[in-house]
Each structure stands twice: as C-alpha cells, then as structure tokens.
C-alpha cells in the first residue's frame, strides 16, 4: 500500500536551492571545480566570544536537557537590549520577544498562527519564496505584489488598495534579493495603510547590519506599528550564525502568545549552549561588525567586476550580502545564460526568476566567499567572455 502525500503539498514545491544544489554537487562529483556564489551562506565565523560561550556551556553537566519554549530569560533580555541599542526600540523581554530556531521558522509559525484557509497573503515579487510557501501550507492564498526597479523596489500601496480579503502582508527591508532600502517615511506609509486596511504587516529584517550605510531601521520605530506589525530578525547573516539557527520575533504580547501556541507544539526548546552563545553574540562590539562589513566591501568590489564582465547593471548603494544585477538586452534568457556560465566556468550564480516574475531579467551574486575566490570567479568569467565572441547570442 502506498500512502499518499497530503493535499497541502500539491501547492508547495521543493525549494529551488534544494534541487539546484544537487545539480551543482553532481558537477563537483564529476570533477568540476565549482565556485558557489549562489547562496547567502556566511563563510566567516562568529565572534570568538560567541564560540567560546558555546563550548564553555556545552561542558556543563546540566546543559543538555529540554529548555523553556520561550527561551532563556537571559536571551530574551539580551534580544530586547540589542533592539534598544541598534534600533532605539523598547520591548518587554518577558512578553514581547520570542526567540526562534531561525527566523525561517518564524515565517511558518506566524502563518500557522494567524491564517485560515481562504485568507489572502501579500508576498513581494521579487522576494523570499518561503513567504508564499508558508501561506500555502496554512491553506491561505499568496497574492504577489509587484516590486519594480523604477519604484525603488517599494510597494505601490495605491494599487494594493484594490486587493480584498488580505490578512497578512510580508515586507523585507533591506530587501532580499535587491538590497533596496526602505526609509522611515516608507515604513510610516505602510503602517498607516495597514491600520486603515486592518492588515498584519510582517517585516522580515535580517540584513540591516550588513553593508547598510544608513542607520539600521526597525518598523517599530514608527508610532502605531505595535498595533499592526510583527518583526523577524536573525543572527544568521549579521552575526555569521546561519547554521546555529537563532532568530527572534518581536511584537505586542498577544501576538507573541499566539505564535508561541504554534511553536510550543512544534519544538521542545533551543539547545542551552546556543542560547548562551546568542547572548554573547548580541553583545558583540561595534568594531566586530565594522570589520565584517569591511570584508564584505572588498568582496563586493570583485563582484562588481564580475557583473561588469557580463554586462549587467547594478546599484552600488544597495545593502545586504548580495549584488543584484540586470542583464543586458542581448541576453534573452537569463537562467539559461547563467547555466551556460555554470557549466563552462564552474561559477554558480542565482537567476533572479526564482524570486518571482519581476526578477526574470536579473541575477543575484553572493559575497559569501573570500576575495581570492570571487576574484578567481571574475577572472574565469572574463576569460570565458573574451574567448566567446558569439556569447551575446550563444544562450538566447
């Protein structure tokens, strides 16, 4: 007897990177050297104090049991203090902060906590695929809203006024994949619109400390945001702790309690040493973050060189750990073009179409590799371009 999969999976596909990385791994097994600039997987370590805190706590005898679903009070307090220091926003650590096993977990928990079958969810295009995937898993209907370069990748709220039946809207600034920034006035317009429409705004905010030359922003800096907003944050990118799975959701206490109802039925708490390490990481000195950004800046310059070799245009004032570039008109199919580069040069770059239809003319390049490796990738692409005069039409 074959047991059939749940019908909810009829509307959910395997994550694109899950299948694409299998293809990349197959090339490596065939002996091809791959330079992976496709994913935002931080290659630098956390701060030494963070690692030391993990190791020290892991040797304690009473460390390895179940932990509170809400996380340690010490960790929640560190998160609240970090929010106040970075964003100037105050939260009650006992009721308005909830540690997560990564903010991706929070996307699912929020969706399960607030959505009913038939509810509509506004998701950005281009944007993170998990917003729509989590909505579908909850039985809701994701509705893509356009983010366009000519609008600085910001939502057109007048156009969205016409969309009915919306319960949640996902936003994400600094934006992934484009690196676009939203300013206080943009957040204020979104909050006012959401309150008028009675919509819950979920702001996914993991990139505000990376190559952001402006003051880091939280949507909770906007008066009235606490009535209609939640905000996710993460230590994955900003603190080089992607594999540690440590994030947070902040917001009013009744919203947090609703999310906890879901979370407490899914996991059994977070490993205690990781929580102590998180406390240490959240107290990293500003100099540590400045050093990380200096490294990312040097890497980004080599990515610009790669983009120039391919004839892609890009914005130099974008934030985050990616460079988002638009293909020249001579490239008719960006995904096919980038596959050609992968198979001929061994450089893996992410096509923008995986983030939505508005990303079809774009590519995203990660800076999560040492300067020497990105330089080598740029050189390989330059050589490939120079040796293939017909390249403008080879992958059309």
pLDDT at 2: 86
Instruction: Please state whether the predicted TM-score (pTM) of the whole model is above 0.75.
Output: yes
Fold of 7-45+287-388: 3.90.1150
Q: Is the dihedral of CA 114, 115, 119, 123 positive or negative?
A: positive
Tell the CATH topology of 63-285: 3.40.640
Q: How far apart are CA 129 and CA 15, in angstroms?
A: 8
Query: What is the length of the chain?
Result: 396
Contact 237, 321 (CB under 8 A): yes
| Nearest residue to 130 via CA among 153, 151, 103 | 103
Those residues whose C-beta lies under 8 Å from the C-beta of residue 10, and which sit 6 or more positions away, are none
β 200-204/229-234 pair status? parallel
pLDDT of residue 328: 96
Residue pLDDT tens, the chain, 396 long: 589 888 887 777 666 777 787 888 888 888 889 999 998 999 999 999 999 999 999 999 989 999 999 999 999 999 999 999 999 999 999 999 999 999 999 999 999 999 999 999 999 999 999 999 999 999 999 999 999 999 999 999 999 999 999 999 999 999 999 999 999 999 999 999 999 999 999 999 999 999 999 999 999 999 999 999 999 999 999 999 999 999 999 999 999 999 999 999 999 999 999 999 999 999 999 999 999 999 999 999 999 999 999 999 999 989 999 999 999 999 999 999 999 999 999 999 999 999 999 999 999 999 999 999 999 999 999 999 888 765 544 443
CA-nearest of 231, 18, 19, 13 to 136 is 13
Check: CB of residue 348 under 8 Å from CB of residue 35.
yes
* In the chain, where the domains are located: 7-45+287-388, 63-285
- Please tell me the distance from the alpha carbon of residue 134 to that of residue 131, in angstroms, as a whole number: 6
Contact between 322 and 368 (Cβ < 8 Å): no
Query: Which residue, 228, 277, 280, is CA-closest to 255?
Result: 228
């Amino acid at each position: 007897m074959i047991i059939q999969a749940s019908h909810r999976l009829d509307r959910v596909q395997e994550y694109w990177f899950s299948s694409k990385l299998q293809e990349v791994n197959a090339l490596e097994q065939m002996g091809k050297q791959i330079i992976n600039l496709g994913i935002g997987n931080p290659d630098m370590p956390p701060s030494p104090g963070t690692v030391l805190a993990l190791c020290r706590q892991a040797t304690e005898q009473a460390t390895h049991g179940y932990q509170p679903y809400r996380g340690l009070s010490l960790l929640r307090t560190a998160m609240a203090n970090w929010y106040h220091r970075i964003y100037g926003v105050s939260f009650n650590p006992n009721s308005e902060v909830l540690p997560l096993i990564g903010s991706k977990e929070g996307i699912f928990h929020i969706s399960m906590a607030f959505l009913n079958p038939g509810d509509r969810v506004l998701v950005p295009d281009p944007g993170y695929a998990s917003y729509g995937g989590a909505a579908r898993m909850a039985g809701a209907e994701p509705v893509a809203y356009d983010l366009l370069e000519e609008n600085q990748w910001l939502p057109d709220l007048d156009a969205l006024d016409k969309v009915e039946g919306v319960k949640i809207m996902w936003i994400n600034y600094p934006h992934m994949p484009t690196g676009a920034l939203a300013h206080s006035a943009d957040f204020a317009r979104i909050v006012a619109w959401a309150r008028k429409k009675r919509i819950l705004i979920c702001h996914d905010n993991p990139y505000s400390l990376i190559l952001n030359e402006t003051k880091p922003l939280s949507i909770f800096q906007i008066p009235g945001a606490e009535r209609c907003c939640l905000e996710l944050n993460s230590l994955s990118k900003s603190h080089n702790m992607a594999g540690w799975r440590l994030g947070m959701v902040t917001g009013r206490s009744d919203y947090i309690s609703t999310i906890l109802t879901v979370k407490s039925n899914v996991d059994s708490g977070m490993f205690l040493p990781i929580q102590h390490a998180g406390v240490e990481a959240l107290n990293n000195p500003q100099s540590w973050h400045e050093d990380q950004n200096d490294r990312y800046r040097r890497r980004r310059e080599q990515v610009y060189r790669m983009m120039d070799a391919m004839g892609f245009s890009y914005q130099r004032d974008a934030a985050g750990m990616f460079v988002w570039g638009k293909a020249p008109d001579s490239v008719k199919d960006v995904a096919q073009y980038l596959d050609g580069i992968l198979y001929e040069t061994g450089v893996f770059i992410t096509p923008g179409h995986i983030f939505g239809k508005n990303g079809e003319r774009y590519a995203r390049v990660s800076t999560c590799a040492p300067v020497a490796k990105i330089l080598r990738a740029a050189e390989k692409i330059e050589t490939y371009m120079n040796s293939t005069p017909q390249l403008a039409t080879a992958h059309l």
